[in-house]
Amino acid sequence: MRLIKSVGWREIRRITYKEYPKMSVEDVDELSISIESENGLHLKIVSIFDKKWAAEYTEKTSEIIVSGMEIICSFLLGYYLQTPVFFWENNKDDVIKAIHFHIDELFGKNAEYKLESRSYLPTFTQFIETELGMEQNHDSSLINEYLSMMPVQKQVVVRYGSFLSLHPNHKFWNTQVLEIQFCFTRAPEVLQNFRGRIACLTYGICNSSDIIRFLKRWKHEKAFPTLETFALHIKWSSFEPEMIEEEIGIKNYPDTITLSNAKQSLPPEWSRYLFLRVFFDFEVPNYIVRDDGIIADLLIDETRMFFSVKKCTEKQMLENGFIS
């Protein structure tokens, strides 16, 4: 068996490392590597397993040299007939790293790296998109170390906010799109420190004073110059909409204005394991005005806040009769 030494593809835009969730102790421990082209082609090119599964999932194994390392290799049967599979013994990180360097040489010149992790956090390459799907008891220090070693992220999806224990000036807060499913008590921290474009949090715990502080900082141009949308759903706590309205000066859109649906301001759902959009499927009837005249959609009820900055001033909206 020989390795491919070169390819003619130059249009690969993303390389994804995906660790499959284990539903029981008997489930296969698998990491796959896929490539995605500019025209939408998505192809799994490698699977990597614990060696204990070699006999059950393959018909023949051999040894192959990858990036100077001898690794057990074979091909999966059935659905993954054409996919090469490699195995690790007590050297998982070394095997994955060796395979990575070879794949990076073939496809990585113009590609960005994405990680979908359930426990494994490799730091041998610069992932710029990350999904953290670990259970709540995962060691948060390992996650914080990973985030410190990565560049500023284009998108991060986190299952549990308790993973995140980061100082206010950490580069993580510059993540462009941040989604947290079970945010819990991290919600006030995200409201205070987020410096990206879009944040979507569900099952948060915070109070009206956190929302008032967030909105006042934006309204008076003290923070959030790049913020586009902040969607927050809370549980085990509640907001006081009337008090917030009085403090902030929330206005109703005129009846002649076509209202925006909140969900349209959020990016498409990235992970099929998270269900964040269901909390934000509604029209937004209210807005607030920044000191420079720019408006933002704003809906606050007892369990939700939805905030989305528009590209027009209040004066332009009233004169044109629509929101841009």
Give the pLDDT of residue 156: 95
Whole-angstrom distance, CA of residue 261 vs CA of residue 275: 17
Q: Is residue 287 in a domain?
A: no
Q: Is residue 19 in a domain?
A: yes
Q: Is residue 66 in a domain?
A: yes
Q: Are 263 and 226 in contact (CB under 8 A)?
A: no
What does 253-317 look like in DSSP terms, one character per residue? PPTTSPPEEGGGGSPPP--TT---GGGG-SEE-EEEE-TTSEEEEEEE-SSEEEEEEEEEEHHHH
Domain that holds residue 97: 10-108
Indicate left, alpha or beta for 293 from its phi (over 0: left) and psi (-120 to 50: alpha): left
Give the pLDDT of residue 65: 63
| Closest to 225 in 3D by CA, of 296, 156, 154, 298 | 296
Helix/strand/coil for 159? strand
Cα-trace Rg, the chain: 23
Give the pLDDT of residue 247: 94
Q: Is residue 263 in a domain?
A: no
What pTM does this model have?
0.88
| Closest to 188 in 3D by CA, of 213, 158, 157, 160 | 213
Q: Which residues contact 225 (CB under 8 A, 6 or more apart)?
A: none
Q: Is residue 314 in a domain?
A: no
Q: Is residue 247 in a domain?
A: no
Give the pLDDT of residue 5: 52
Q: Is residue 188 in a domain?
A: no
The count of domains in the chain is 1
Query: How crowded is the C-beta side of 196, counted as CA atoms within 13 Å?
Result: 21
What are the φ/ψ torsions at residue 149 (nearest 5 degrees)?
A: -85, -15
Q: Is residue 98 in a domain?
A: yes
pLDDT tens sequence for the chain (324 residues): 445 555 555 688 999 999 986 655 555 578 899 999 888 788 888 888 877 766 665 556 666 666 666 666 666 554 444 677 777 787 888 888 888 988 898 888 889 999 999 888 998 889 999 999 888 778 888 899 999 999 999 999 999 998 888 999 999 999 999 999 999 999 999 999 999 999 999 999 999 999 999 999 999 999 999 999 999 999 999 999 999 999 999 999 999 999 999 988 888 776 655 667 788 999 999 999 999 999 999 999 999 999 999 999 999 999 998 888
What does 79-102 look like in DSSP terms, one character per residue? GGTT-EEEEESS-HHHHHHHHHHH
What are the beta bridge partners of residue 112? 14
Give the pLDDT of residue 150: 96
Whole-angstrom distance, CA of residue 85 vs CA of residue 49: 7
Task: Fill in the amino acid letter for 133.
Answer: G
Give the pLDDT of residue 234: 94
